[in-house]
Chains A and B, each alone.
Chain A
Amino acid sequence: MTLLSVSGLSVTQRNREIFRDVSFQIGTGEVVGLIGPNGAGKTTLMRAALGMIAHGGDSTLADLTPHARAKAAAWMPQSREIAWPVSVETLVMLGRLPHLGPYSRPSAEDHARVDEAIAWMELEQMRHRTATRLSGGEQARVLIARALAQGTPLLMADEPIAGLDPAHQIGTMKIFAQMAAHGKSVLVSLHDLGLAARHCTRLIMLGQGRIIADGAPEDVLTPARLAEIFHITAWYQNTEHGPVYQPLDVIGRTD
């Protein structure tokens, strides 16, 4: 089953073409890492695929009504906004909004999903704390829990692990893997190529206004592409501890 199918997607903003002819599909049970240098259009690609900005080409999510889309895909934007000093539990419950009837209260199922998301992100300790008073990394975990509580087959997250400590970065990627094991899928943009190589089942590399490569991490992260797109060299090996990837140096600088 396909959760998202994008074909010939293009976005032009203020006469600048961000990318064009982007096509890919996401099936069930995948953790797809979206990688690319700053300004490659990762965020724009995800927002266009959701149908939230003007675009050319087709996306199955963009064709849905906003209400149906909210049940098909959850979106976690990069900006971590929490406008009001609500409790962690209240914030996570916001993820259930698309499932509530017009004037109905949260059902037992809604509460169960919220509890589940809070448990996944290890937030029990801070369940009743005020979300705006948490640290940046804690807020990020709360917002991930909010997106998980939405309970959609597909989760799209824009740099969800930026600013998290190593344990929670790894923990979050493992939660994505668990979701994939349960038949859900995640499209996640990230800059940490080491974590991407280890925890994603598939990588999509975006650069120069198009998809450069799409496939298994070891096939995508070739030295030639890293040099051309990211301007770096890296050490990459399948070890007994799994794939290990370490960026080494910037190409084109002598220092």
Chain B
Amino acid sequence: MTRLSLVLIVAVLALFTGSLLIGPAGLGAGESLRALVLGGDGPLPMVMREIRLPRAILAAMIGASLGLAGAAMQGYLRNPLAEPGLIGVSGSAALGAVLSIQTGLATAFVLALPVAALTGALLGVGLVMSLAGRGGASLSLILAGIAVSALAGAMTSLVLNLSPNPFAANEIVFWMMGSLADRSMTHVWIALPFIALGWLLLASTGRSLAALTLGEDAAAAMGVSLPRLRLVIVLGTACVVGAGTAVAGAIGFVGLVVPHILRPFVGAHPGRLLWASALGGAVMLLAADIAVRMVLPARDLKLGVLTALVGAPLFLHLIYKLRKGAL
């Protein structure tokens, strides 16, 4: 195990524990963890098991997903500016969620929103794949992703535009900012199968992504099937980002910034970057989710707002370094 992965794993464990211990209830660390592990009666075990545990699990899971998908997408497109949302999955997942809020379906039963978002993500990725054609070219994939993202964004705006219900519009706007507050274990269970499948798919691409360092032609000659690789990347990204958006809303910049930060630490190797970015994504989202609870505890600061606020300047700094040729 390398020093980098050791550092990242320790950071994930520490932040995960920290996430369990921080909340408005102001509980003691010892009794909180005892209640979490041993259970028992009263409000404390319920707070730990039903409120804080799912929140921490979701932050780690979704953060890792975004980091992994970002690293895979950058490796596949051989572009450090690529991010998982590029193929239109997060946009179409958001559209599905927005429609379920607008139609009132989301209030009808608890899983309506994540299911609608996942359906949106699947439809979006199906549309992207049919637009991109059967070949293995990455350019057609980018163009199709941009088209579907734009379409989903326009439809979301249309729903907001025509919304007769200001409360629904308000709810939509807040939902789209991304948050992990008030999620339950049910959310964990609905996202987990998709995220696990997506992880398996994306984690299998390390070798092929490494070969792609030499360009599509050389990679193909080394036995990499480009159409298959593209399918695996798109499906894997759709699974993890679709499921993540479905339970937490749109959380930007993690998939973009994390691989970028970690690339120098893995010698820029695209395969090794996958694992590092998964861990790094979990670290970033766990930290961000702790920060939204610490910075403005009374105001429900949205997670997606914070990641963008932190991510954008970080990204500008990286672009500045890139311009100086330091990357």
Give A contacts to B, CB under 8 Å. Answer: 47, 50, 52, 66-67, 69-70, 73-77, 79, 81-87, 90-91, 94-95, 97-98, 100, 130, 143, 146, 150
B268 within 8 A of A: yes
A167 CA / B221 CA spacing, docked (Å): 29
What secondary structure prevails in chain B residues at the interface with A? Answer: loop
* Contact A81 B267, CB 8 Å, known A52-B220, A75-B221: no
What secondary structure prevails in chain A residues at the interface with B? Answer: mixed
Chain B contacts with A in 263-283, Cβ cutoff 8 A: 263, 267-270
Contact of B214 among A69, A70, A81 (CB under 8 A): A81
Nearest residue, chain A, Cβ from B224: A66
- Between A and B, 8 residue pairs with Cβ closer than 8 Å are A70-B223, A79-B217, A83-B212, A84-B78, A86-B267, A94-B210, A94-B222, A97-B211
B327 within 8 A of A: yes
Nearest residue, chain B, Cβ from A143: B214
Q: Hey, which chain B residues are within 8 Å of A87, CB to CB? A: 267
Nearest residue, chain B, Cβ from A79: B215
Contact of A94 among B211, B267, B327 (CB under 8 A): B211
User: Do A94 and B268 touch (CB < 8 A)?
Assistant: no
Q: Hey, which chain B residues are within 8 Å of A77, CB to CB? A: 215, 217-218, 221
Give B contacts to A, CB under 8 Å. Answer: 78, 207, 210-215, 217-218, 220-225, 263, 267-270, 327
Q: Hey, which chain A residues are within 8 Å of B220, CB to CB? A: 52, 66
Closest chain-B Cβ to A104's Cβ sits at a distance in Å of 11
Q: Hey, which chain A residues are within 8 Å of B78, CB to CB? A: 81, 83-84
Closest chain-A Cβ to B24's Cβ sits at a distance in Å of 44
Closest chain-B Cβ to A215's Cβ sits at a distance in Å of 28
A66 CA / B214 CA spacing, docked (Å): 17
Q: Hey, which chain B residues are within 8 Å of A66, CB to CB? A: 220, 223-225
The interface centre, meaning the residue of B210, B213, B214, B220 with most chain A CB atoms within 10 A of its CB, is B214
Q: Hey, which chain A residues are within 8 Å of B213, CB to CB? A: 81-84, 86, 91, 94
User: Do A70 and B218 touch (CB < 8 A)?
Assistant: no
User: Do B268 and A86 touch (CB < 8 A)?
Assistant: yes
Closest chain-A Cβ to B2's Cβ sits at a distance in Å of 13
Nearest residue, chain A, Cβ from B211: A97
User: Do B207 and A90 touch (CB < 8 A)?
Assistant: no
Q: Hey, which chain A residues are within 8 Å of B212, CB to CB? A: 83
Nearest residue, chain B, Cβ from A68: B223
The interface centre, meaning the residue of A73, A90, A91, A97 with most chain B CB atoms within 10 A of its CB, is A97
Nearest residue, chain B, Cβ from A47: B217
Q: Which 4 A-B pairs have the closest CB atoms?
A: A81-B215, A75-B221, A83-B78, A70-B223
Q: Hey, which chain A residues are within 8 Å of B268, CB to CB? A: 84-86, 90, 130
A76 CA / B270 CA spacing, docked (Å): 20
Contact of A90 among B217, B221, B269 (CB under 8 A): B269
Q: Hey, which chain B residues are within 8 Å of A50, CB to CB? A: 221
Closest chain-A Cβ to B261's Cβ sits at a distance in Å of 14
A66 CA / B208 CA spacing, docked (Å): 13
Closest chain-A Cβ to B4's Cβ sits at a distance in Å of 15
User: Do B214 and A98 touch (CB < 8 A)?
Assistant: no
User: Do B270 and A84 touch (CB < 8 A)?
Assistant: yes
* Contact A150 B215, CB 8 Å, known A85-B327, A86-B267, A97-B207: no
User: Do A67 and B223 touch (CB < 8 A)?
Assistant: yes
Closest chain-A Cβ to B151's Cβ sits at a distance in Å of 30
Q: Hey, which chain A residues are within 8 Å of B327, CB to CB? A: 85
Q: Hey, which chain B residues are within 8 Å of A143, CB to CB? A: 214
Q: Hey, which chain B residues are within 8 Å of A100, CB to CB? A: 207
Q: Hey, which chain A residues are within 8 Å of B218, CB to CB? A: 75-77, 81
The interface centre, meaning the residue of B212, B222, B268 with most chain A CB atoms within 10 A of its CB, is B222
